Structures are given as C-alpha cells and as structure tokens.
C-alpha cells in the first residue's frame, strides 16, 4: 500500500494500490471516500462513500471483502456506493447474490448516477459523472463541495451592513461549487481529454497504463487505456495543482516508474507523481 500526503491544494492523503488488470482501490483522507474496490484494506473499508468506475473485476472484485470488513468493524452506517447507470442493474444483481450467499442484508445504499448527473453525497459533498471510453461502460468523477460566497453586488459592504441585510431577511450569499478532486481511470486518452473538468481539477487521479515502446500509443488506445507519450502534452497544459498517475501495467517496475515520473515532473515543472510501492519490484 502506498500513501501520498499533501497531494493537491487541500492536503489530501491518497492511500491505495493500483496496477492495470490486477487490482485498483484507493482511499482519500480527510474525505472518507474510496475509489473502486479491486482490493480492500482497513482505511479503504472505513469510507463513507465508494465511487465505482466500471465493472471490470480488478476494480470491483473485493467488494464483498470490503463489506465484510465493515461488518466485522461494527460500522453501522451503510456504505454509500455510487454506480454508473449503464451497470446499475447488474450491480444490484451482484449485491443481491452476495447478500444471498452470506444470508445477511448488506449495509449499503446504492446511488445510480447517469452521465453528466450531479449527486449529493454524505459529508456535504457532491459528485458529477463523466463518461470515459473503455472496453466496457466506465465513468470518471469530479468531486467537490458547495460553499456560500458573498453576492457580487454586496462586495465592499462592511459587516454591520451585511448584518442589517440578514436581519431584514435578505440572503447575502450564493451557493458556489468548489472542486476537490477528479478521478479518471480506465479510459482512452480521447475519453479523458474530452472533459475540460479533468484538466483543471486541484488534484487529478488519472490512469496511465503504458510507459514505454513495448505498447505503442495506438495499441494503448485499442486496449482502452492511456500511454504516457499521448498524455505528456496534455499534462503540460494541465491547470490544476497535482496529478497522481495510477494503474500502470505490471510490465513496468515500481523503481523505474518512480524515476520516469520524476523526470517527467521536472521536465513539465508540475506536481506529477505515480502511485507505486516503495519497493524496487512488484510483490504479488
């Protein structure tokens, strides 16, 4: 398990593991939010919310383990699971089968999300879904919160004036969405780059599966994934604060990926990191 602290503008910590075709599961603190469930671990299972990108088993295969961990930890709050609409019916069948197998109701609340839809989440956050391009239906997500901002026409008013307006029953603020992070895994580059929301997120957690010539950018595209050579120019135009690259192919060793990513970050002058273990080689 690898942890990144202070990734992005909000000092978020990302903990998890992600290898393409193998297992992907992440959890973000302080927001109690987990991303996919290709494996389960303690902090991952403690989340309030789980965002499911798609139904490949390396992204949902440990769902039963995650729910068992919650039951064994006596967590009473149901896990809020956000599921893309194209897979929602099958996902409900999966949960029904898991529940039948253990003869217990599962402590979950499933929220179906459609492309472009914005849903309110526990913890006063919201999520918006963006369809990606993969071999099966797959959604990326942008997550944020609603803050209250002073109405533009009231800028310059002193505190006493605002208090008087409030006292007279006037609303002095407007709601405004603030983005916290974006998550885009298992997609072609075209699927990622079509959405401007990803290119300016404070923290973008983004797949980059292929990193050398053994798989070409066009082969990566056919496989439904991103190649670093295609991603690099887009990263140079990224306007957010930090990018965390995930989902590398296991053909690339962790120590090589760290060195390659450090070169890339230096070349671009940006906070770009890759989620890999601190070991030289993969251990699984």
41, 14 contact by CB (below 8 A): no
244, 204 contact by CB (below 8 A): yes
Task: Kindly report the number of other CB atoms within 10 A of residue 47's CB atom.
Answer: 25
User: Whole-number minimum distance, CB 147 to Zn ion, in Å?
Assistant: 34
Give the residue with the Cβ less far from Zn ion, 132 or 264: 132
Residue showing the smallest CB distance to Zn ion in the complex: 56
Between strands 203-207 and 125-131, the pairing is unpaired
**Residues forming beta bridges with residue 27, ordered by sequence position:** 15, 34
User: Whole-number minimum distance, CB 61 to Zn ion, in Å?
Assistant: 11
> Cα separation of 184 and 198, whole Å?
8
Give the residue with the Cβ less far from Zn ion, 18 or 121: 18
Q: Is 242 left (phi over 0), alpha (psi -120 to 50) or beta?
A: beta
Give the residue with the Cβ less far from Zn ion, 43 or 133: 133
User: Whole-number minimum distance, CB 224 to Zn ion, in Å?
Assistant: 7
Sequence-distant (6+) residues with CB within 8 A of 215 are: 209, 223, 227, 249
User: Which helix H or strand E contains 44, and what residues bound it?
Assistant: helix 42-45
User: Whole-number minimum distance, CB 138 to Zn ion, in Å?
Assistant: 7
User: Whole-number minimum distance, CB 134 to Zn ion, in Å?
Assistant: 6
User: Whole-number minimum distance, CB 20 to Zn ion, in Å?
Assistant: 8
The encoded tokens of residue 9 equal: 């503008």
User: Whole-number minimum distance, CB 265 to Zn ion, in Å?
Assistant: 26
* Burial class for 148, CB neighbours closer than 10 Å (0-12, 13-18, 19+): exposed
> Cα separation of 140 and 118, whole Å?
12
User: Whole-number minimum distance, CB 56 to Zn ion, in Å?
Assistant: 3
Give the residue with the Cβ less far from Zn ion, 64 or 224: 224
Contact positions vs Zn ion (CB under 5 A): 56, 186
Give the residue with the Cβ less far from Zn ion, 2 or 186: 186
Give the residue with the Cβ less far from Zn ion, 55 or 179: 55
Which among 249, 257, 187 is positioned nearest to 215, based on CA atoms? 249
- Centroid of chain to Cα 233: 22
> Cα separation of 132 and 138, whole Å?
6
């Amino acid at each position: 398990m690898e942890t990144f602290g202070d990734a992005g503008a909000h000092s978020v910590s990302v903990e998890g593991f992600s290898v393409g075709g193998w297992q992907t599961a992440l959890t973000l603190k302080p927001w109690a939010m987990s991303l996919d469930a290709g494996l389960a671990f303690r902090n991952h299972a403690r989340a309030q919310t789980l965002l499911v990108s798609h139904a490949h088993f390396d992204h949902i295969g440990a769902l039963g383990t995650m729910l068992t961990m919650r039951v064994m930890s006596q967590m009473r709050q149901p896990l809020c699971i956000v599921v893309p609409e194209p897979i929602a019916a099958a996902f409900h069948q999966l949960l029904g089968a898991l529940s039948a197998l253990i003869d217990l109701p599962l402590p979950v609340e499933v929220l179906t999300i459609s492309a472009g839809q914005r849903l309110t989440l526990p913890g006063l956050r919201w999520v918006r879904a963006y369809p990606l391009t993969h071999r099966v239906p797959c959604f990326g997500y942008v997550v944020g919160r609603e803050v209250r901002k002073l109405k533009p026409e009231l800028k310059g008013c002193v505190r006493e004036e605002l208090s008087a307006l409030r006292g007279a029953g006037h609303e002095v603020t407007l709601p405004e969405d603030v983005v916290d992070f974006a998550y885009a895994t298992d997609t072609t580059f075209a699927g990622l780059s079509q959405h401007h929301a990803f290119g300016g997120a404070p923290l973008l957690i983004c797949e980059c599966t292929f990193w050398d010539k053994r798989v070409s950018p066009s082969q990566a595209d056919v496989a439904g994934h991103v190649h670093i050579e295609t991603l690099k120019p887009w990263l140079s135009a990224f306007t957010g604060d930090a990018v965390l690259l995930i989902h590398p192919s296991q053909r690339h060793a962790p120590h090589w990926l760290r060195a390659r990513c450090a070169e890339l970050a230096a070349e671009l002058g940006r906070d770009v990191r890759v989620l890999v273990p601190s070991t030289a080689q993969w251990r699984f």
